[in-house]
Structure 1
Amino acid sequence: EEGIEKSAQVAGIWHFQGQVQSRKLRDIASWATFIHSIDSSDHAEKLSRICAELDKEISIFLQLSLDGAVGRGGVAASGVIALAEKVSDLPNIKLAGLMCVPPVTYEHQRAFSEIAKIHQGFIASFPTANLLSAGMSSDFEVAIAHGATHIRVGSQILGSRPYHP
């Protein structure tokens, strides 16, 4: 909902970051240019159908999970190539690359080293999907050193946001 409001006020390339809910895909597709968190073929297929109706293309990052934690989203490294194969030929979807938020229990260097290794294997199979969305305000320097092309540094620039449960 916030994305709809802000994208109407300022034209540009808009990125959706956060866990995707199937029921929200139409709203997200109405304003986003990139979605950083696709982790299932069901979401990608639904997004493809919605984009056809909207006559637009959306670039997606597949969300990678390093630890398989329930509730955090993401596909295991062992399944990321299979998911990419399923979604890469969908109409109105452009596979941009991978996205990963490291588990809080991982040391930054270890996490981004592992992400970089997975990313290199991924782009060997999907050379045009070479973007890597990883890193936040607390760890973006390590993420960039390991190949991140997109980082999330909102609180570093804008300060903390109020929490609304």
Structure 2
Amino acid sequence: MRKETIVENLNAVGVRIVTCCNNCGRNPSEITLLAVSKTRPAQDLRIAYSAGQRHFGENYLQEALEKQDALSDLDIHWHFIGPLQSNKSRAVAERFQWIHTVDRLKIAQRLSSQRPGYMAPLNICLQVNIDGEQSKSGIAPQDLVALAREVVKMPGLRLRGLMAIPTVRRDACGQRKPFIELAALLQSLCRQFPDQTLDTLSIGMSRDMEAAIACGATVVRIGTDIFGGRNYSDE
């Protein structure tokens, strides 16, 4: 994609975030824009970085590692936001600052044990299957506290909050419902684990970002509206 287009798109998303925050009484500084860069070449990330973008989210591990090598001269905050197989956990533990998709005790245990001791604990979000869809990853809401109770004991991890990918809904009211439910789950965790810094709601994408921000999102995961439609032909 042309450099000018990526920069223009980033600016447009920034305006949307500011406008939404103004409309719902929030401070735009509370929102982290996570550029979802899966399937995008490293050069596109470099362009976005030159325009001020620092947080990038990757879904596919091997692709992400190749980009990290190509962009090692940049101070990028790397977020892993895809499903993680247990046999690939070491690379995430060693190469990322964040993972948003922890939903099993085994994965959490591996990430903690494989996090290098010289690095800060890995920031994690627990992924919640907020709509109970069988086709989606995520822990059931009723099992969340039990998993959180184990995760907060792990020295290599820092539990930061929750993530969800709700069912696509077109109307604003429908979009807000699962976000409100997830925000309530996070507030419940805050009460039960008052010594933890549970400050992250990773919700909202290009189509429902405004609804997510209005419901308390602190991280919005935006791909299409920054980099355009994706090409999956090589996968």
What is the aligned partner in structure 2 of residue 3 from structure 1? 64
Distance in 1, Cα, partners of 2:176 & 2:132: 19
- The 5 Å alignment of 1:1-165 reads 1-8=62-69, 9=71, 10-52=74-116, 55-56=118-119, 57-104=121-168, 107-127=174-194, 128-164=197-233, 165=235
Secondary structure at the residue paired with 1:91?
coil
Give identity over the alignment, percent: 38
Letter in 1 for 2:90: R
Output the TM-score relative to the length of structure 1: 0.91
Report deviation, 1:136.
0.6
Aligned in 2, Cα 1:143/1:105: closer, same or farther, shift over 3 Å?
A: closer
Higher relative contact order at CA 8 Å, sep ≥6: structure 1 or structure 2? 2
Q: TM-score, normalised by structure 2?
A: 0.65
1:103 to partner: Cα distance:
2.0
Deviations 1:36-76 (A, max 9, x none): 00001110001111114x64321100001112222411111
Q: Which amino acid aligns with 1:18?
A: G
Counterpart of 2:115 in 1: which secondary structure?
A: helix
- Whether the aligned pair in 1 keeps the contact of 2:100 and 2:202 (CA below 8 Å) is yes
User: What is the CA–CA distance in structure 1 between the aligned matches of 2:87 and 2:135, rounded to whole Å?
Assistant: 17
User: Which ranges in structure 2 are unaligned for 5 or more consecutive residues?
Assistant: 1-61
Deviations 1:87-142 (A, max 9, x none): 11101111011111112369202121222222221222234112110111100111
Two-structure CA RMSD over aligned residues (Å) = 1.7
Q: Larger strand proportion, structure 1 or 2?
A: 1
The aligned residue for residue 35 of structure 2 is none
Residue of structure 1 in register with 2:22 after alignment: none
- 1:101 aligned counterpart, secondary structure: coil
User: C-alpha distance in 2, partners of 1:133/1:126?
Assistant: 19
